[in-house]
Amino acid sequence: MTIHLFHHKQICKEAAKPTVNDAPDPDPSNRTSITSSSDEDDDFPHAKETFFHTSRIKDSIAVQKHHGTNDCEVHEENPHLQDFMIPHHSVHVRRLDDEEEDAVTVTIAETAAEQPVNAAAAATTRRSCLRPETKTSYYNRPKTEKSKRRIHFGDVFVRDYEMILGDNPCVTYGPPVTLDWDYVEFNPLPVDEYEFHHPPRRTIREMGMNYYRRKELLTLAGHSEEELKMAKKEVKKCKSNRYMTRQLASYPVVKMQATIESALRKCRRLLKDDHWKTERHLFVQ
């Protein structure tokens, strides 16, 4: 999942849904072209390797903590992906009762173009990843049948989420931020067009938000100064509780208690059925 920041909002790029082509490939030369394309990827210049990682992990941002990110995609000189983002529909989540944290209701404002999309999605055959499609396992199939299966990526779906006050205690200083449940979904774009128009990947330093940036986003979202102070107070309290937990976990008595709890759980599984045993028939043929 790649997250972009546009107009004080978070843009979340969802991975395009892979489709499997079961039809045989009429051109056997495609197999050679795929192999050659993977070899060409090694010709791209990579950033300098770090001490703990190697350049084999090409797409990992963790590799490039001290250097630039590896981005072998071709981008236009002046990226302007916002011009291609056409709103499709929006989703609003409204809480029924503020006292009940789990009580929510969803209000969806859809356009006319959304109805045929949902109808086509409902008519598509859905396959479960837990149960085999046929009695023959995939690994028992002939090699020729395995090689016919292809996976390709088509469209990219982009959603625009609001930024609201969060409760993550891992923030260094100030109030934390998080994504809201409300979002605006845009029309799908072909994956090649999306990669060409969006700017290059950002570094770790560019993806981080300092205290002033987070405070600006929360102020634009409509949060008051009193709410920000309360959030900082809750974060400080949670950090103190975590610190006490880490200190107490080093005592032998606490370690012995964890060992006893683990032994009791194992004995309980031997005496009675747990949810894994009762649901085994759902996964085993």
Q: What is the structure's pLDDT at 268?
A: 80
Place of tokens 């016919």: 148
For the chain, the domains span: 2-124+152-224, 227-282
| pLDDT score of 142 | 61
Half-sphere exposure of 111 (CA within 13 A, CB side): 11
DSSP 8-state code for residue 71: -
pLDDT of residue 233: 93
Amino acid present at 210: N
Give the pairing type, strands 155-165 and 104-109: unpaired
Name residue, tokens 């950090």.
239
Q: How long, in residues, is the chain?
A: 285
Angstrom distances, CA of residue 93 to CA of 14, 176, 183, 224, 235: 20, 21, 9, 21, 25
Q: Are 70 and 64 in contact (CB under 8 A)?
A: yes
* DSSP letters spanning 150-216: EEE--EEEEEEEEEEE---TT-SSS--EEEEEEEEEEPPEEHHHHHHHSPPPPPHHHH---HHHHHH
Task: Say what the pTM is.
Answer: 0.51
d(CA 269, CA 38): 48
CA–CA separation, 52 and 73 (whole Å): 25
In sequence order, the 6+-apart residues with CB closer than 8 A to the CB of 196 are 73, 74, 75, 76
The tens-digit pLDDT sequence of the chain (285 residues) is 433 434 444 434 433 344 434 444 444 444 433 333 344 444 545 445 444 444 444 444 454 554 555 566 677 888 888 888 889 988 888 766 555 555 444 445 555 344 444 443 344 444 444 444 444 455 566 665 555 667 778 899 999 998 899 988 988 889 999 999 999 999 999 988 888 888 877 777 778 889 999 999 999 989 999 999 999 999 999 999 999 888 888 888 877 888 888 898 888 878 776 666 676 666 655
Nearest to 110 by CA among 102, 118, 122: 118
Rounded Cα–Cα distance for residues 69 and 97 (Å): 45
Question: Rounded to the nearest 10 degrees, how much is the dihedral formed by the CA atoms of 16, 164, 62, 239?
Answer: -140
HSE at residue 39, side-chain half, CA atoms within 13 A, is 6
